[in-house]
């Protein structure tokens, strides 16, 4: 008996990401019930990559620590590795030409059918240039209500906050470039699962902690 | 045809005559083969002058001319200290070149001394000044009224050397070698020269010895042999001395060799002891095979242990792989459990929300379609049948997966425990492996090997040292000096030649001594036997006696008798060396009758011999004057001095 990750789980994870990373919108441009917007699918994919690969996230947190000397980042990285998240919470992704990519139409459709989000597409069908994900108020209420009720879902909303903060204003391409810096990611053959970097991050973390204790 | 003496010696020594002659020459041994003539000496004139000092003062000059063979006397009238002895002592000083009993004060008084003497037909003149007792002058020969100096002197030593050399040569005398051992030091050969030989010219003092005044080293025997001219006596004497010398050297050499042999034997003994020690040490170490066996055992142990370790490590790796794969399975189970939970939450959430639009066309879903869903169980969007997984089946799935995971985790725990104890064992085995390796290394390169090698070297060294000693037979160098053997032969043959002549000579000597002694006063003497070593045994008044047991007067007479007998026998054999002059100081002679007999008989004997000169000192002027011609006497009348 094997139980895989369901599309509804994917939908919730993406919703948490959109909720955490969307920016407020000008009231005039959208109807009242749109509370924020996340521009570009590539950014959503990049955020989702950190959600699904805790080792890459921990590595990025160490990078962040080295820049800011904020020890909270280092502690979180340590916590991620110590709780074996890379083994237990990885949801493998395949590499495509423009980075980690997973068809997300199905989970997004689930979110759209219950009217949690709206998706704006520019360009013509078959030639879509850009997706914009507009979060509706009922979508935000739903994910936050669900997180409040269920500790399983709360993990996603908490983690999405971390990821969104890490990504900041950076666009999808910039994030993808940062993720590409990892040899394992860059060297991954097209259409193959991106390899874990857990061992290397563990060593880096230990070295950094050692360096700190000096 | 009889062999000559040299041939006899060579045959005895088993050498060639040339080799034998070489030894004779090397050690200056002269065979008594040449015939020698007898020399004769007398004093013709004595003069001395000087100045007295002390209690008696004044210049003095004493001259006694016209001397020749015969009996001459200096005499006083019952008193001593008138200068009789001085006259005799000055004659002796001149002849010896060395004073004998001349008083020091008298010597200092002397200014000048002259002595003329005749040897055979040559006239010699000794003339010297005396400066503070030291003689400065010359010995000369009168050759056809010309005085030719022979030698000069200006010291006691120089005077002694001049006279010694001259007399020894003139009388064909040899130095008398005797072996002498001082109270400290090595035994050595001492050569007695003219001073000792001339002892036989003087008869005075307490007459302790029959001949001469030195008793040591068998000198009287030599004097006897020399003066009587015992044929071969001198050769025999030389050979004996040389033989003694060679034997002494031989003893020294042998003792050196012996002590060397002894130290070699000691060394050998020590080395043999060392060798035993070295052998024992080596035996104790064994032949090294024990070590090899041990090394093999240890190597076997190490080999099987290493195999075990490799096997254990491989199985440990396999355990690790198992643990990893089980962990992966456990992780997978955990992910599935989480998926179940999350999915349940998500399903419940999304099922609770009615769809508002089609995600494809975004048209609103009709209300009645949503209401109908419950009845028809058809999706209000896509009209597919909705299958509701009940919570029971989710729970069942959770239980199955949870149990599976629990089992996996137990298995992982077991494997981990198993691996921990296996690792513990492995660590122990690796420690043992290290120990074994070390032990083998130690045995291979160990001190044991070094110690054994050292012990072998020790043994080899001792064996080598022993081998260097052993091949040389001990005492190889004990070869006797070949001269010794030849010298023994020389001695034997000289002894034989000597013995051949000696008996007759000694017999003649005994006869002469007995006759003369009886004539000059020892009337009771019945038998005299003088041995070749100059000891005398005699029979007197039916009793056996010896020289030392006689009275002073008897000893004086026996000495005179012996000296005269030597001269007479020497003259007869033609081998005598005595100068033919005797100086007698008999001041102690008290008995007038005895003295008269002695003097008159001496005069008779002297007349018979015509080559004898006797100087006689006496304190009985009356007897002297009545016995001897007036011109033969120098008399100190009562209250006056001779000079």
Q: Do B338 and A113 touch (CB under 8 A)?
A: no
Pairing outcome for strands B581-585 and B202-203: parallel
| Whole-angstrom distance, CA of residue B51 vs CA of residue B58 | 5
Residue B428 buriedness (CB in 10 A; 0-12 / 13-18 / 19+) = exposed
Partners of B354 on chain A (C-beta within 8 Å) are 114
Q: Inform me whether the C-beta atom of residue A63 falls under 8 Å from chain B C-beta atoms.
A: no
ipTM of the complex: 0.86
* Averaged pLDDT for residues A71-85: 90
Phi, psi for A157 (deg, rounded to 5): -65, -40
| Whole-angstrom distance, CA of residue B158 vs CA of residue B155 | 5
Q: Tokens 């050569």 appear where?
A: B191
Closest of A7, A90, A49 to residue B331, by C-alpha:
A90
Query: Element (H or E) spanning B528, and its range?
Result: strand B525-530
Partners of B401 on chain A (C-beta within 8 Å) are 1, 3
* Averaged pLDDT for residues B2-24: 87
Q: Inform me whether the C-beta atom of residue A151 falls under 8 Å from chain B C-beta atoms.
A: no
Task: For residue range B504-546, list pLDDT tens digits in order.
Answer: 888 888 999 999 999 988 888 999 988 877 788 899 888 888 8
Closest of B158, B163, B238, B153 to residue B195, by C-alpha:
B163
Name the residue facing B347 among A8, A108, A153 (closest C-beta): A8
Q: Inform me whether the C-beta atom of residue A93 falls under 8 Å from chain B C-beta atoms.
A: no
Phi, psi for B604 (deg, rounded to 5): -60, -50
Name the residue facing A112 among B331, B354, B359 (closest C-beta): B359
pLDDT at A96 over 80: no
* Averaged pLDDT for residues B33-59: 85
Sign of CA dihedral B508, B511, B514, B516: negative
Q: Quick check: B334 and A87 in contact, CB under 8 A?
A: no
Closest-CA residue of chain B to A2: B336
Residue B628 buriedness (CB in 10 A; 0-12 / 13-18 / 19+) = buried
**Residue B389 pLDDT:** 65
Closest of A71, A98, A102 to residue A177, by C-alpha:
A98
Task: For residue range A130-139, list pLDDT tens digits in order.
Answer: 788 999 999 9
pLDDT at B235 over 60: yes
Shortest Cα distance from A6 to chain B (angstroms)? Answer: 7
Q: Do B339 and A152 touch (CB under 8 A)?
A: no
Chain centroid to CA B378: 141
Partners of B356 on chain A (C-beta within 8 Å) are 113-115
Order of strands across the sheet with A117-124?
A34-39, A127-136, A117-124
Q: Inform me whether the C-beta atom of residue A11 falls under 8 Å from chain B C-beta atoms.
A: yes
Closest of A37, A23, A39, A60 to residue A177, by C-alpha:
A60
Q: Tokens 């237990």 appear where?
A: A88
Partners of B331 on chain A (C-beta within 8 Å) are 84, 87-88
Q: Do B356 and A3 touch (CB under 8 A)?
A: no
**Which residues of B make CB contacts under 8 Å with A?**
327-328, 331, 334-343, 345-347, 349-350, 353-360, 362, 365, 381, 397, 400-401
Shortest Cα distance from B350 to chain A (angstroms)? Answer: 8
Which of B31-35, B279-283, B409-413 holds the top average pLDDT?
B409-413
B19 three-state secondary structure: helix
**Residue A139 pLDDT:** 92
Closest of B271, B291, B321, B298 to residue B458, by C-alpha:
B271
Shortest Cα distance from A147 to chain B (angstroms)? Answer: 10
Q: Quick check: B220 and B212 in contact, CB under 8 A?
A: yes
Partners of B348 on chain A (C-beta within 8 Å) are none
pLDDT at A115 over 60: yes
Residue B474 banded pLDDT, cuts 50, 70, 90? very low
Chain centroid to CA A199: 21
Name the residue facing B336 among A3, A87, A109 (closest C-beta): A3
| Whole-angstrom distance, CA of residue B139 vs CA of residue B100 | 19
Here the tokens at position A41 are 């699918």
Picking from A80-89, A151-160, B174-183, B626-635, which range would have the lowest pLDDT averaged per residue?
B174-183
Name the residue facing A1 among B357, B359, B401 (closest C-beta): B401
Q: Please state whether the predicted TM-score (pTM) of the whole model is above 0.80.
A: no
Q: Inform me whether the C-beta atom of residue A115 falls under 8 Å from chain B C-beta atoms.
A: yes
pLDDT at A189 over 80: no
For an interface test with B, which of A113, A114, A121 has the most B Cβ atoms less than 10 Å from its Cβ? A113
Name the residue facing A113 among B337, B349, B359 (closest C-beta): B359
| Whole-angstrom distance, CA of residue B578 vs CA of residue B173 | 9
- Quick one: angle between helices A105-113 and A7-21, nearest 10? 80
Partners of A88 on chain B (C-beta within 8 Å) are 331, 334-335, 338
DSSP letter (8 states) at residue B2:
P
Closest of A55, A58, A47, A61 to residue A15, by C-alpha:
A47
Q: Tokens 């020790």 appear where?
A: B458
* Chains A, B: CB pairs < 8 Å: 76
Q: Quick check: B134 and B104 in contact, CB under 8 A?
A: no
**Residue B109 pLDDT:** 93
Q: What is the number of residues in chain A?
A: 214
Partners of A84 on chain B (C-beta within 8 Å) are 331
Q: Quick check: B213 and B10 in contact, CB under 8 A?
A: no
Q: Tokens 């990025």 appear where?
A: A60
Name the residue facing A88 among B331, B347, B359 (closest C-beta): B331
| Whole-angstrom distance, CA of residue B321 vs CA of residue B341 | 30
- Quick one: angle between helices A7-21 and B289-351, nearest 10? 80
Residue B131 banded pLDDT, cuts 50, 70, 90? very high
Shortest Cα distance from A126 to chain B (angstroms)? Answer: 14
Q: Do A113 and B335 touch (CB under 8 A)?
A: no
Which positions ≥6 away from B226 have C-beta within 8 Å? B173, B174, B176, B197, B233, B234, B577
Shortest Cα distance from B296 to chain A (angstroms)? Answer: 46
Q: Concatenated DSSP letters for B577-631?
A: ---SEEEEE-TT---HHHHHHHHHHHHHHHHHHSS-EEEEEESBHHHHHHHS-GG
**Residue B290 pLDDT:** 65
Task: For residue range B280-299, list pLDDT tens digits in order.
Answer: 877 877 666 666 788 888 88
Q: What is the number of residues in chain B?
A: 643
**Residue B286 pLDDT:** 67
pLDDT at A17 over 90: yes
Give the CA distances from residue A121 to residues A40, A113, A118, A124, A131, in Å, rounded to whole numbers and listed in that order.
Answer: 10, 17, 10, 8, 5
Q: Do B343 and A12 touch (CB under 8 A)?
A: no
Picking from B36-50, B209-223, B433-447, which range would have the lowest pLDDT averaged per residue?
B209-223
Task: For residue range A37-67, list pLDDT tens digits in order.
Answer: 888 888 888 899 899 999 999 999 999 898 8
Q: Do B341 and A152 touch (CB under 8 A)?
A: yes
| Whole-angstrom distance, CA of residue B236 vs CA of residue B501 | 12
Residue A174 banded pLDDT, cuts 50, 70, 90? confident
Residue B34 banded pLDDT, cuts 50, 70, 90? low
Which of B247-261, B287-301, B439-453, B483-497 holds the top average pLDDT?
B483-497
Residue B446 banded pLDDT, cuts 50, 70, 90? low
Residues paired with B599 in a beta bridge:
none
Closest of B150, B142, B39, B163 to residue B94, by C-alpha:
B163
Extract long-range pairs of B276-284: CB within 8 Å, 24+ residues apart. B278/B455, B278/B458, B278/B459, B278/B462, B279/B459, B281/B455, B281/B458, B282/B452, B282/B455, B282/B456, B282/B459
Q: Inform me whether the C-beta atom of residue A125 falls under 8 Å from chain B C-beta atoms.
A: no
A91 three-state secondary structure: coil
Q: Quick check: B50 and B40 in contact, CB under 8 A?
A: no
Give the CA distances from residue B46 to residues B65, B115, B126, B135, B164, in Å, rounded to whole numbers and listed in that order.
Answer: 6, 5, 10, 16, 20
| Whole-angstrom distance, CA of residue B437 vs CA of residue A213 | 41
Q: Tokens 């259409």 appear where?
A: A191
Partners of A2 on chain B (C-beta within 8 Å) are 336
For an interface test with B, which of A8, A89, A136, A139 has the most B Cβ atoms less than 10 Å from its Cβ? A8
Q: Quick check: A185 and A69 in contact, CB under 8 A?
A: no
Task: For residue range B378-407, list pLDDT tens digits in order.
Answer: 887 777 877 766 667 888 888 889 999 999
Extract long-range pairs of B131-135: CB within 8 Å, 24+ residues apart. B132/B108, B133/B104, B133/B107, B133/B108, B135/B159
Closest of B581, B566, B573 to residue B511, by C-alpha:
B566
**Residue A191 pLDDT:** 67
Q: Do B350 and A8 touch (CB under 8 A)?
A: yes
pLDDT at B478 over 80: no
Shortest Cα distance from A68 to chain B (angstroms)? Answer: 34
């Amino acid at each position: 008996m094997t139980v895989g990750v369901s599309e509804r789980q994917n939908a919730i994870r993406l919703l948490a990401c959109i909720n955490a990373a969307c920016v407020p919108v000008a009231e005039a441009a959208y109807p009242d019930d749109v509370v924020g917007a996340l521009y570009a699918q590539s950014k959503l994919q990049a955020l989702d990559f950190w959600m699904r690969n805790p080792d890459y996230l921990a590595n990025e947190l160490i990078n962040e620590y080295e820049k800011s000397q904020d020890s909270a980042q280092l502690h979180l990285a340590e916590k991620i590795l110590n709780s074996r998240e890379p083994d237990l919470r990885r949801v493998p992704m395949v590499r495509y030409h423009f980075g980690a990519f997973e068809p997300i139409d199905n989970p997004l459709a689930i979110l759209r059918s219950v009217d949690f989000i709206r998706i704006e597409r520019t360009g013509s069908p078959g030639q879509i240039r850009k997706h914009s994900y507009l979060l509706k108020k009922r979508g935000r209420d739903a994910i936050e209500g669900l997180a409040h009720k269920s500790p399983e879902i709360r993990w996603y909303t908490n983690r999405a906050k971390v990821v969104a903060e890490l990504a900041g204003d950076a666009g999808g391409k910039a994030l993808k470039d940062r993720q590409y810096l990892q040899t394992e990611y860059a060297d991954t053959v097209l259409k193959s699962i991106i390899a874990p970097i857990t061992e290397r991050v563990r060593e880096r973390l230990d070295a950094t902690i050692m360096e700190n204790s000096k | 045809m009889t062999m000559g003496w040299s041939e006899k010696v060579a045959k005895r020594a088993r050498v060639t005559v040339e080799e034998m002659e070489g030894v004779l020459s090397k050690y200056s041994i002269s065979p008594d083969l040449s015939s020698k003539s007898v020399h004769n000496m007398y004093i013709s004139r004595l003069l001395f002058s000087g100045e007295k000092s002390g209690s008696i003062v004044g210049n003095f000059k004493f001259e006694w001319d016209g001397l020749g063979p015969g009996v001459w006397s200096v005499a006083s009238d019952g008193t001593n200290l008138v200068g009789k002895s001085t006259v005799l002592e000055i004659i002796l000083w001149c002849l010896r070149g060395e004073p004998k009993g001349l008083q020091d004060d008298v010597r200092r008084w002397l200014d000048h001394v002259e002595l003329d003497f005749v040897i055979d037909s040559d006239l010699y003149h000794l003339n010297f000044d005396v400066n503070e007792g030291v003689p400065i002058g010359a010995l000369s020969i009168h050759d056809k009224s010309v005085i030719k100096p022979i030698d000069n002197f200006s010291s006691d030593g120089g005077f002694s050397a001049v006279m010694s050399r001259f007399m020894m040569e003139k009388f064909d005398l040899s130095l008398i070698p005797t072996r002498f051992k001082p109270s400290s030091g090595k035994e050595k050969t001492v050569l007695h020269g003219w001073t000792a030989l001339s002892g036989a010219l003087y008869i005075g003092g307490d007459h302790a010895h029959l001949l001469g005044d030195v008793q040591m080293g068998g000198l009287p025997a030599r004097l006897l042999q020399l003066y009587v001219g015992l044929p071969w006596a001198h050769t025999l004497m030389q050979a004996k001395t040389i033989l003694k010398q060679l034997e002494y050297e031989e003893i020294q050499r042998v003792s050196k060799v012996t002590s060397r042999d002894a130290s070699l034997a000691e060394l050998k003994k020590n080395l043999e002891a060392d060798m035993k020690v070295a052998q024992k040490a080596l035996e104790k170490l064994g032949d090294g095979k024990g070590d090899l066996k041990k090394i093999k055992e240890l190597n076997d142990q190490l080999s099987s242990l290493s195999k075990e370790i490799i096997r254990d490590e491989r199985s440990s790796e396999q355990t690790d792989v198992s643990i990893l794969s089980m962990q992966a399975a456990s992780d997978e189970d955990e992910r599935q459990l989480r998926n179940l939970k999350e999915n349940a939450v998500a399903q419940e959430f999304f099922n609770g929300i009615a769809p508002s639009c089609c995600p494809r066309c975004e048209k609103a879903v009709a209300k009645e379609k949503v209401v109908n869903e419950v009845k028809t169980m058809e999706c209000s969007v896509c009209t597919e049948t909705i299958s509701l997984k009940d919570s029971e089946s989710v729970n069942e799935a959770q239980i199955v997966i949870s149990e599976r995971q629990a089992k996996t985790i137990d298995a992982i725990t077991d494997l981990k425990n198993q691996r921990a104890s296996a690792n513990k064992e492995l660590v122990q085995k690796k420690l043992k492996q290290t120990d074994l390796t070390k032990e083998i290394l130690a045995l291979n390169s160990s001190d044991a090997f070094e110690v054994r090698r050292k012990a072998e070297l020790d043994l080899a060294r001792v064996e080598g040292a022993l081998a260097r000693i052993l091949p040389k037979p001990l005492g190889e160098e004990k070869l006797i000096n070949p001269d010794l053997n030849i010298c023994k032969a020389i001695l034997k043959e000289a002894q034989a030649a000597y013995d051949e002549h000696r008996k007759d000579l000694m017999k003649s000597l005994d006869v002469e001594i007995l006759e003369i002694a009886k004539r000059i006063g020892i009337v009771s003497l019945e038998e005299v036997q003088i041995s070749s070593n100059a000891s005398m045994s005699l029979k007197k008044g039916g009793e056996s006696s010896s020289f030392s047991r006689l009275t002073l007067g008897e000893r004086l007479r026996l000495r005179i008798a012996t000296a005269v007998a030597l001269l007479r026998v020497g003259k007869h054999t033609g081998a005598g060396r005595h100068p033919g002059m005797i100086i007698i100081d008999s001041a102690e002679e008290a008995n007038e009758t005895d003295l008269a007999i002695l003097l008159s008989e001496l005069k008779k004997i002297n007349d018979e011999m015509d080559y004898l000169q006797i100087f006689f000192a006496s304190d009985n002027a009356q007897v002297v004057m009545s016995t001897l011609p007036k011109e033969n006497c120098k008399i100190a009348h009562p209250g006056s001095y001779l000079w």
